[in-house]
Amino acid sequence: MSMQLNETHDPALRSWVASANTADTDFPLQNLPFCLFRRAGRDEAYRGGVAIGDQIVDLGAIGNALDDAAPAARAAAALGALSSLNALMDAGPQAWSALRLALSRLLRGDATPRQELLVPQAEAEFAVPAQIGDYTDFYTSVHHATAVGKLFRPDNPLLPNYKWVPIGYHGRSSTIGVSGQQFARPRGQTRGPNDVEPSFGPCKRLDYEMEVGIFVGGGNAAGAPIAVAEAEQHVFGLCLLNDWSARDLQAWEYQPLGPFLSKNFATTISPWIVTLEALAPYRAAWTRDAADPQPLPYLDYPALRASGGFDVELEVLLQTAAMRRDGLAPTRVSLSNFRHSYWSVAQLLAHHTVNGCSLRAGDLLGSGTQSGPDASEAGSLLELSAGGKQPLTLPNGEQRVFLEDGDTIEMRGWARQPGRPRIGFGAVAGTVLPAR
């Protein structure tokens, strides 16, 4: 379903919403990502919306605007008008595709403008788009895993299982917030290399991780694994995800069971979920070095090598409190691409369920830090600063090895190809506050 092109992908399509037709918009007519929103400052319920240019199509107000659409589209729109997107996510790819087609036709330049269906994005506030029952974070960038491994195990950076099995850990859904999230610097136990005993206090090595979030659509029954060739039918869409990480807490606690307090204090996601159907023209080949182990049969499928990846550029920007005070824009610190991922989206779902684990609509998977092969493509400060040994110098002269109070991290993502519109993910931003 997600790999088939149809009339909604036509690069010549234009909308009666003028802002959707500009070259630099994240949200042209060919995108149509979902969110959960309400008008800011009003006592009204959150409901589903769809981005078009600088506007939101209010699925709660769409009413008879879809009278001529297929029944599946009208039913999907009604599910999207609810106070979370879980029911729409659970409806499955035929419903998602029907709604996308109906919205595309409703918003095209030759359709009758329906301004009453729109809410300006500038006047909206957003919520986490689904009730996230479970959150699993993976570790899919071999470049990130190798760079981090070298800091701790210079002679053997990758553990033996890395190239055989997608590695993940169970995260904390209760602290996932939407873009704009602010959180206090975490506190916990740390022990330095020369310390006899651990100490307790605020984290000193706070970091970000540039990731892609994967929202599960229809789930699977307990004991019934999702076949890898069918896994993308269970993916509602992708978002941007910042997995904030307390590196000093992590170094002390991670053996033998992996991350705990170093990861569960905050995770920030973008408000927009871009569907796999919107990304169909921007698929990328999935490659695996011939010298590396090839996927076991349960992780292999016919479309994997030709189009298992996604060509999505991923940008990280940093703005310090001083930059904000002086009116300076955030500065780019890295630029990478999701196509570098060592494991595909389909492989993550298949592996997650192969033991009989059930996923549910609204569950969230994190891709793990998406670093590329070049140093400038590192998706964390841990890599960019070589473990805190090489400070980054910002345009205003400030330096960073890890994040300081008042720092804001903003991440952006987009897919683009010659002759096609840019498909953007919007932004995910979060700010570090002083420890309580």
Domain boundaries, the chain: 7-126, 135-433
Question: How are the residues of the chain apportioned to helix, strand and coil, as percentages rounded to the nearest 5?
Answer: 25, 25, 50
Average of per-residue pLDDT across 49-64: 97
What six digits make up the tokens of 249? 């807490």
State the Cα–Cα distance between residues 278 and 290, nearest whole angstrom: 31
- Does residue 250 have a known ligand-binding role? yes
Query: What pLDDT is attached to residue 2?
Result: 46
What six digits make up the tokens of 54? 């600088």
- Does residue 139 have a known ligand-binding role? yes
CATH class belonging to 135-433? alpha beta
* Residues whose CB is less than 8 angstroms from the CB of residue 169 and which lie 6 or more positions away in sequence, other chains included: 136, 137, 258, 259, 263
Q: In which band, very low, low, confident or very high, does the pLDDT at 362 lie, cut at 50, 70 and 90?
A: very high
The answer to whether residue 144 is catalytic is yes
- Does residue 46 have a known ligand-binding role? no
Tens-digit pLDDT profile for residues 270-283: 999 999 999 999 99
Q: Residue 250 above 50 pLDDT?
A: yes
Residue with tokens 């999702």: 226
* Residues whose CB is less than 8 angstroms from the CB of residue 202 and which lie 6 or more positions away in sequence, other chains included: 185, 186, 187, 435
Q: Helix, strand, or coil here: 411? A: strand
Structural element, H or E, at residue 284 = strand 283-284
State the Cα–Cα distance between residues 123 and 26, nearest whole angstrom: 18
State the Cα–Cα distance between residues 335 and 151, nearest whole angstrom: 22
- Does residue 162 have a known ligand-binding role? no
User: In CATH terms, is domain 7-126 a member of 2.30.30.230?
Assistant: yes
Q: In which band, very low, low, confident or very high, does the pLDDT at 153 lie, cut at 50, 70 and 90?
A: confident
Question: 239 pairs with which residues across the strands?
Answer: 213
Domains 7-126 and 135-433 share a fold: no
Q: In which band, very low, low, confident or very high, does the pLDDT at 364 lie, cut at 50, 70 and 90?
A: very high
Q: In which band, very low, low, confident or very high, does the pLDDT at 260 lie, cut at 50, 70 and 90?
A: very high
Query: What pLDDT is attached to residue 3?
Result: 62
Q: How would you write 310-366 as a 3-class SS string? A: ECCEEEEEEECHHHHHCCCCCEEEEEEEHHHCCCCHHHHHHHHHCCCCCCCCCCEEE
Query: What pLDDT is attached to residue 314?
Result: 98
E strand segments, 198-269? 199-202, 206-207, 210-216, 235-242, 245-246, 267-269
* Residues whose CB is less than 8 angstroms from the CB of residue 408 and which lie 6 or more positions away in sequence, other chains included: 318, 319, 320, 324, 330, 429, 430, 431, 432
Which of 144, 340, 351, 352 is flagged as catalytic?
144
* Residues whose CB is less than 8 angstroms from the CB of residue 184 and which lie 6 or more positions away in sequence, other chains included: 433, 434, 435, 436
Query: What pLDDT is attached to residue 1?
Result: 39
Contact in structure between 367 and 214 (CB atoms under 8 Å):
yes
Query: What pLDDT is attached to residue 262?
Result: 96
Q: In which band, very low, low, confident or very high, does the pLDDT at 152 lie, cut at 50, 70 and 90?
A: confident
What are the CA-CA distances from residue 383 to residues 211, 286, 368 (Å)?
Answer: 15, 24, 14
- Does residue 267 have a known ligand-binding role? yes
